[in-house]
Structure 1
Amino acid sequence: RTNDPNNKVFSLRVVGLVVPRMVLIPDTTWEIREVQETGPSYTAGFLISPVLTDLGVEKLEYDESRMEVKMHPVDLDQISSMKGKSGVGFEVIVKQGMPVGSFSFPIRIHTNTQERQSDGQLGEKAIVNVTVAGRREGPIRMLGPAYLPESSTIALGSFSCTDGRSVKLTMLVRGAPEEGLQFSEVVSDPESLKVELIPEAKGAGNAKRYTLVVQAPPNGPRLTRRDENPAEIRIKTNHPEAPEMNLKVQFTAY
């Protein structure tokens, strides 16, 4: 409002676009769609900046026993097509022999640019976090209505913590050792989850058959472990091609 009798009221509209200093392509998870059994598996990604002309990487942190990460420059045409002014490309090489089931490994990218803080000021040099994720079936195939193969997840459903609940899954194991598949170590989160491996007399073709029992025992704690925070079971085995298994478990114990 003004004191101008001819223009007592006028409006202004401020239009703009808040552009992030750095953008990951793909987003924070780089997926390996096909895990190879006879060699390494690959995925790739980019870190670009729509505003900086000299974005660079000073250091990478990752598990070198699991994977190798190579950096390469990105040409201007490629950066322009992604609406960036500078950037770095990454090739991720995941080594053969990943755990059976779902896996995820972090990469910490230490950049040469300062991070923009909530008050608009520039702070410490920015660290960008990426997760490399995939799923390997390997020589162990799991079957059953409670098993979700696309995410290597066992669904226990909802149940009274007083009663507990257990499910049985069929495991078909190719190339099992002569003494049969054995679990040498089982680590569960939460610790209340239990597993039992039961050999079956009848196999399926060249595969040996087992029953895997996953149990939340009676009188356990009240817990909800769903998509955003599933329970985990990490298993070490005597199988030369599947020394590790990672399983997720979803349930609500009320």
Structure 2
Amino acid sequence: MNLRAVTALIALVIALAGTVWLGRGNGDIQPAAPVPKQTDPSDDRPKISPTGPYPKAVVDTPLYNFGSMAVGQSLSHNFILKNEGEVPLEVQKGATTCKCTLSEMKENMVAPGESIKIELTWTPKSPQQNFGQTATIYTNDPKNQELKLQIEGTANNLIAFTGDFEGSPHWSLPTMSTTDPVSFSGKIHTKYLDEFKILGIESSKPGLTSKFRPLTAEELKEADTKSGYTIEVTADPEQFPLGGFTERLTVKTDIPHDLSPPGTEEKHDHPEGHDHKHDHEHATPEGPRTFVIQVSGNHTGPIRIVPTYGVHWNPNTMILNLGEFPAKEGKTVTLSMFVEGTEHSLEIVDQEIAPDFLEFELKKDDKFESKTKQRYELKFAVPAEMSPVSFGRTNLAKVKLQTNHPNAKEIEFRVQFISL
């Protein structure tokens, strides 16, 4: 047998062996598992006819602008959806960011030539310069399988105030420099309610009083509003210590928290796993609304304080800022205080200093000559070799004095510093 024949025989044997091995292995291979059919979200939508005829979904104006709304106020708009096609139009509500209601119809069908109302309702929860909400309507119109209906507008606070800043009114009183009371008049009004009542006003301090009256027709026109009041706030200097202050007026009204008409509560289709506890935490409060007005002022009384060069003193808040300094070195500053309204020397009847390591000294300048004023030196000191400490805006150090001056019975200095 020649070499070529031997080679052919060996190749034939290898091929037969491979065939046998492959035949045995096929019995061990498991058939592939069938791939599950993926669910198409469009399976639940209205079906489009493959041949026609077709319906025709028509909404003349798919966008509506509410204009200006009040926070908490519910407004609704009806969109008219008409079927101008040859066969019934099937409609189905899809995703929505606001309350969407379809008018009643038989099996979600709109006959040719007929129409339905689609009501969108929105209740803004916070002021928004521009808001937009959308509802999607699915149909079996091949040219309008998804109709987008939109509402938009502007949301403002229900009540407006004089000195309003982002919904937090702040009124400033004139400086109290004598024993005469000082007053400020501000307005509270709304362009969304035909009327409302102020049930009462509470003050955080006895020396701060108020009275109110309805705005006149002329004042309402001038403010471009529907209803409102003028509130006059008066502060009695005898009830306030010297220095700056901020107090509160709480205005109680008959305005309900929920301005939505019955049956117009905002609703959403919540997905599975939605946190209903979160909804409960943001539920509308019960009872009528109250509003807080911050009232600030400065009582200088018969004293005037002048800092020495480089000393940071705020006369409106009576805060002395010592800045930052090494704890090992400490810090000492001196202020000049001029006092009027008494012939007697200013005496400290009682004092309260916190923290107790803060040093304070009041000394009369006997060389100062004036028929109406007296001059005193005020010295504030943080001793050297103290441990580093910080007294900032939220934990100011203070020196509170009780004096014999008839119009400056209480003087309070506040001190800010950081020792490193």
TM-score range, shorter chain: 0.7 to 0.9
Q: Which residue of 1 aligns with 2:284?
A: 121
Q: Which residue of 2 aligns with 1:208?
A: 374
The change in CA–CA distance for 1:129 and 1:160 in structure 2 (over 3 A counts) is: farther
- Distance in 2, Cα, partners of 1:143 & 1:240: 22
- Greater shift in the superposed pair: 241-250 or 1-10: 1-10
What is the Cα deviation at residue 67 of structure 1? 3.3
What is the 5 A alignment of 1:114-153? 114-115=256-257, 119=282, 121-144=284-307, 145=309, 146=311, 147-153=313-319
- Distance in 2, Cα, partners of 1:83 & 1:185: 54
- Greater shift in the superposed pair: 27-36 or 41-50: 27-36
Q: 8 Å contact 1:42–1:91 — kept in the other structure?
A: yes
- Distance in 2, Cα, partners of 1:55 & 1:163: 62
- Gaps of at least 5 residues in structure 1 are none
The change in CA–CA distance for 1:194 and 1:8 in structure 2 (over 3 A counts) is: farther
Size of the aligned set, in residue pairs, is 252
Aligned equivalent of 2:337, options 165, 171, 175: 171
Q: Which amino acid aligns with 1:57?
A: I
- Greater shift in the superposed pair: 241-250 or 75-84: 75-84
Q: Which residue of 2 aligns with 1:51?
A: 192
Residue aligned with 1:53, SS: coil
Q: Deviations over 1:28-59 (max 9, x none)?
A: 32112243525221111122233233322222
Q: Which amino acid aligns with 2:160?
A: V
What is the Cα deviation at residue 90 of structure 1? 0.8
Q: 8 Å contact 1:103–1:246 — kept in the other structure?
A: no
Q: Which residue of 2 aligns with 1:23?
A: 160
What is the Cα deviation at residue 195 of structure 1? 2.5
Q: Which amino acid aligns with 1:155?
A: N
Q: Deviations over 1:48-98 (max 9, x none)?
A: 233233322222222674133111111244234334332221111222434
Q: Which amino acid aligns with 1:50?
A: K
> What TM-score results when the alignment is normalised by the length of structure 1?
0.80
What is the Cα deviation at residue 168 of structure 1? 1.0
Q: Deviations over 1:189-208 (max 9, x none)?
A: 65654422122221142322
What is the 5 A alignment of 1:198-237? 198-206=363-371, 207-218=373-384, 219=386, 222-226=389-393, 231-237=397-403
Q: Which residue of 2 aligns with 1:104?
A: 246
- Distance in 1, Cα, partners of 2:160 & 2:354: 33
Aligned equivalent of 2:361, options 155, 177, 196: 196
Bigger relative contact order, structure 1 or 2 (CA pairs below 8 A, ≥6 apart): 1
- The higher radius of gyration belongs to 2
Q: Which residue of 2 aligns with 1:73?
A: 214
> What TM-score results when the alignment is normalised by the length of structure 2?
0.51
- Would you tell me which structure has more strand in proportion to its own residues? 1
The change in CA–CA distance for 1:71 and 1:188 in structure 2 (over 3 A counts) is: farther
- Greater shift in the superposed pair: 202-211 or 235-244: 202-211
Q: Percent identity?
A: 25
What is the Cα deviation at residue 154 of structure 1? 1.4
